[in-house]
């Protein structure tokens, strides 16, 4: 066991872990970051599939804790591709000399709270036990691949890939018959790019997806310079919106305007591209009737692009638009006009299994040389539940969360003192631009840790009553929106056996930030210091 006690162990070196390390150092804390991967960047270290890029504009999908950093860094596209985002994470690590406190290629296996010493004992795959006063879980909301248990998958003789764990050297699909399972955000980005190279691409679709054009383009230097000249205004405007993204949330209701006015608004947003489409009207995620107008608009667009009416019909989603995460694409529908792309509807013809030479669905074998699983993630709780975390009285986190995650603010968990989660379940996290959301958490945690130190306390713990109230508030706001009504990963529906709880906080970024600030201002109301 390492004899020196650390002040803080941070798990994960994605954007959350890097920011936490930087902030903790500023407090003068002795910090170690433990990262399972061989480099920084988290999501952007692992998700190297063809076409991977952000869906929040690059100028916003970046840190703001350092004015010099945001002035110096140059983004080259409206939506940066994975290599550029990874290069940005690496630049941050180098610029702030972060790597010296990061232990790579090491996974945290367990963490147990020692009540007598008010410290965490953290074991890792490197065989060490670290002692630390505080633990910060920066383990990511979308960092554990969801790999469906398809019968016979192990027998497949070709290579298999998951988008969230892509080979670093890349994959050349030229001349190959490729099958891709899934049509979520990852698949929507990957399909057009794989279809360019593969001899044939077979897309196995369980649920048709809503996607909006990204209209990605180079970012001219003059445009980014104009933003940089007054970055603070853009950042402040974004923080006032529901999602923390600088998009215009129309206050008008879809059903209160004429059909022609509605169409004009949808067309304008379609032409602009981006996830702002779903903010076209205020009632789109409240009223099923309003939502149906936007859904029909997208279905009509599919019909305009996809030439084969039977394929267009199968590609047309029927669920609530925006309920599952809205996708952004570059040429997704068009791909299905290519003669080398086939769509297989596995909702109608479920996958019966995998054989040596392909996937069996709808009573036939689809011959394949390679399989891509674009089947998403065990989101929000997956990475935390995979660590054996024991709190007060030996209470296990996985046990506490057996019926779904329970947190106070998505930042702390009753029964687990001195442990914080960055963008944990119960925080706005995945419903927002993650970068400012991560920074807000990191700043809050740093201030809280400083407060504990200033008070001479050894321990801070969320009170069960405060946690219960937050969980109830989460459920109440979720019940008001259509977003909690479909089988999405927001409710854990993509992972068999996972409890159905709407996991992110859907009360809006500004409301949430205000709540966190008020709690801190009241001397950390709902927390117990000892
Ligand atoms: P991550 O980047 O997931 O990092 C967590 C790290 O923790 C990982 O490196 C992991 O290896 C490590 N880890 C986990 N468990 C352990 C353990 N037990 N021991 C050691 N290390 C561990 N969000 C947006 O706002 N805009 C976007 O455009 C956007 N695009 C995305 C595109 C893709 C393909 C995906 C998958 C997600 C996207 N997201 C986007 C969400 C994205 O996850 C966040 O924006 C952000 O990168 C999360 O950073 P993080 O540090 O919290 O988590
Ligand atoms: P996802 O949205 O969960 O999509 C997974 C896809 O796989 C869905 O189509 C799902 O079908 C299908 N699937 C899952 N299990 C299956 C099974 N057993 N059999 C058949 N099909 C199965 O995952 P993702 O596309 O990786 O995206 C996850 C999240 O990461 C996104 O929502 C987004 O937040 C983020 N992301 C963002 C971007 C971006 O544009 N910047 C890109 C990628 C990811 P069902 O719908 O029927 O479950």
SS3 state of residue 366: strand
Q: What do you get for the CA distance between the two ends of the chain, in Å?
A: 26
218-246 pLDDT, tens digit each: 999 999 999 999 999 999 999 999 999 99
The CB density around residue 307, as the number of other CB atoms within 10 Å, is 11
Q: Is the CB of 11 under 6 A from ligand 1?
A: yes
Ligand 1: residue of 14, 52, 276, 433 to mutate (most ligand atoms within 8 A of CB) is 14
Which tokens in the block code for residue 487? 């089988």
Measuring CA to CA, which residue among 330, 366, 323 is closest to residue 205? 366
Q: Is the CB of 387 under 6 A from ligand 1?
A: yes
**Angle subtended by helix axes 259-272 and 288-305, to nearest 10:** 60
Q: Whose CA is nearest to atom 2 of ligand 2?
A: 184
Q: What does each C-alpha distance from 141 to 390, 404, 438 come to in angstroms?
A: 20, 15, 11
Instruction: Judge contact between 119 and 132, C-beta under 8 A.
Output: yes
Token look-up 């106070």 returns: 408
The CB density around residue 257, as the number of other CB atoms within 10 Å, is 16
For ligand 2, what atom is nearest to the CA of residue 487? 48
Q: Is the CB of 436 under 6 A from ligand 1?
A: no
Between CA 358 and CA 336 the distance in angstroms is: 20
CA–centroid distance, 463 to ligand 1, in Å, is: 28
Q: Whose CA is nearest to atom 4 of ligand 2?
A: 184
CA–centroid distance, 292 to ligand 2, in Å, is: 22
6-144+378-529: CATH class: alpha beta
Eight-class DSSP state of 504: S
Q: Is the CB of 378 under 6 A from ligand 1?
A: no
Instruction: Judge contact between 411 and 455, C-beta under 8 A.
Output: no
Per-residue DSSP letters for 51-100?
T-B-SS-TTTSS--S-HHHHHH----BSS-BHHHHHHHHHHHHHHTT-GG
pLDDT at 155: 95
Instruction: Judge contact between 426 and 489, C-beta under 8 A.
Output: no
For ligand 2, what atom is nearest to the CA of residue 325? 32
Instruction: Judge contact between 341 and 195, C-beta under 8 A.
Output: yes
pLDDT at 1: 46
CA–centroid distance, 47 to ligand 1, in Å, is: 9
Q: What does each C-alpha distance from 177 to 149, 172, 183, 311 come to in angstroms?
A: 22, 12, 18, 20
Ligand 1: residue of 57, 83, 139 to mutate (most ligand atoms within 8 A of CB) is 139
Q: Is the CB of 101 under 6 A from ligand 1?
A: no
Measuring CA to CA, which residue among 353, 529, 434 is closest to residue 54? 434
**CATH 3.50.50.60 residue spans of the chain:** 6-144+378-529
Give the torsion through C-alpha atoms of 325, 331, 336, 342, to 10 deg.
-70
For ligand 1, what atom is nearest to the CA of residue 186? 34
Beta bridge partners, 110, equal 123, 388
Give the number of the ligand closest to the Cα of residue 377.
Answer: 2
Beta bridge partners, 203, equal 180, 343
For ligand 1, what atom is nearest to the CA of residue 185? 34
Give the torsion through C-alpha atoms of 423, 129, 41, 506, to 10 deg.
-10
Between CA 52 and CA 179 the distance in angstroms is: 18
Residues framing ligand 2 (Cβ under 6 A): 54-55, 142, 148, 163, 181-187, 189, 206-207, 325, 328, 346, 374-377, 430, 489, 494
pLDDT at 2: 52
Q: Whose CA is nearest to atom 9 of ligand 1?
A: 42
Between CA 354 and CA 489 the distance in angstroms is: 24
pLDDT at 492: 97
Measuring CA to CA, which residue among 410, 418, 385 is closest to residue 399? 385
Give the torsion through C-alpha atoms of 41, 45, 51, 57, to 10 deg.
0
Q: Is the CB of 34 under 6 A from ligand 1?
A: yes
66-85 pLDDT, tens digit each: 999 999 999 999 999 999 99
Between CA 355 and CA 345 the distance in angstroms is: 19
Ligand 2: residue of 376, 490, 500 to mutate (most ligand atoms within 8 A of CB) is 376
**Nearest 5 degrees, angle CA 381-CA 383-CA 384?**
65
For ligand 2, what atom is nearest to the CA of residue 327? 40
Eight-class DSSP state of 423: T
Q: Is the CB of 18 under 6 A from ligand 1?
A: no
CA–centroid distance, 393 to ligand 1, in Å, is: 31
SS3 state of residue 204: strand
For ligand 1, what atom is nearest to the CA of residue 54? 28
Residues in CB range of 230: below 8 A, 6 or more apart: none
Those residues of the chain that have pLDDT short of 50 are: 1
Instruction: Judge contact between 70 and 228, C-beta under 8 A.
Output: yes
């Amino acid at each position: 066991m390492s004899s020196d006690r650390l002040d803080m162990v941070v798990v994960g070196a994605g954007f959350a872990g890097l920011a936490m390390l930087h902030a903790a150092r500023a407090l003068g804390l002795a910090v170690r970051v433990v990262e399972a991967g061989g480099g920084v960047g988290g999501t952007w270290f692992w998700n190297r599939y063809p076409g991977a890029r952000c869906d929040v504009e690059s100028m916003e999908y970046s840190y703001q804790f350092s004015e010099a950093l945001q002035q110096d860094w140059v983004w080259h596209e409206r939506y940066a591709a994975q290599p550029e985002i990874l290069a940005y994470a690496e630049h941050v690590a180098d610029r702030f000399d972060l790597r010296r406190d990061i232990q790579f290629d090491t996974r945290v296996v367990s963490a147990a709270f020692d009540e007598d010493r008010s410290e965490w004992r953290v074991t890792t795959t490197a065989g060490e036990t670290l002692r630390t006063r505080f633990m910060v879980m920066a383990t990511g909301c979308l960092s554990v691949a969801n790999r469906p248990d398809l019968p016979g998958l192990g027998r497949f003789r070709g290579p298999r890939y998951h988008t969230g764990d892509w080979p670093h050297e890349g994959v050349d699909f030229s001349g190959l018959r490729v099958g891709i399972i899934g049509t979520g955000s990852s698949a929507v980005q990957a399909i057009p790019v794989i279809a360019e190279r593969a001899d044939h691409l077979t897309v196995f679709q369980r649920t048709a997806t809503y996607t909006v054009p990204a209209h990605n383009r180079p970012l001219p230097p003059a445009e980014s310079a104009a933003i940089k000249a007054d970055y603070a205004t853009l950042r402040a405007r974004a923080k006032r919106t529901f999602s923390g993204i600088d998009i215009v949330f129309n206050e008008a209701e879809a059903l209160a305007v004429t059909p022609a006015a509605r169409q004009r608004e949808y067309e304008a947003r379609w032409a602009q591209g981006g996830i702002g489409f779903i903010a076209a009207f205020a009632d789109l995620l409240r009223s099923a009737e309003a939502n149906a107008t936007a859904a029909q608009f997208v279905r009509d667009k599919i019909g305009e692009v996809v030439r084969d009416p039977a394929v267009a019909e199968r590609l047309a989603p029927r669920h609530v638009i925006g309920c599952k995460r809205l996708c952004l694409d570059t040429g997704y529908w068009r791909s299905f006009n290519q003669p080398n792309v086939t769509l297989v509807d596995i909702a109608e013809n479920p996958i019966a299994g995998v054989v040596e030479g392909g996937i069996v669905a709808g009573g036939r074998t689809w011959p394949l040389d390679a399989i891509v699983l674009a089947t998403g993630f065990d989101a929000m709780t997956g990475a935390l539940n995979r660590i054996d975390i024991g709190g007060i009285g030996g209470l296990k986190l996985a046990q506490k969360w057996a019926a779904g995650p329970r947190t106070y603010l998505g930042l702390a968990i009753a029964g687990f003192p001195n442990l914080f989660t960055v963008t944990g379940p119960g925080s706005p996290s995945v419903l927002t631009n993650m970068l400012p959301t991560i920074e807000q958490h990191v700043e809050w945690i740093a201030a809280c840790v400083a407060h504990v130190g200033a008070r001479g306390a050894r321990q801070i713990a969320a009170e069960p009553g405060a946690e219960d109230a937050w969980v109830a508030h989460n459920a109440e706001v979720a019940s008001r929106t259509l977003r909690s009504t479909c089988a999405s990963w927001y409710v854990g529906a993509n992972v068999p056996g996972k409890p159905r709880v709407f996991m992110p906080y859907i009360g809006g970024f500004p409301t949430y930030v205000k709540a966190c600030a008020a709690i801190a201002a009241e001397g950390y109301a709902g927390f117990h210091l000892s």
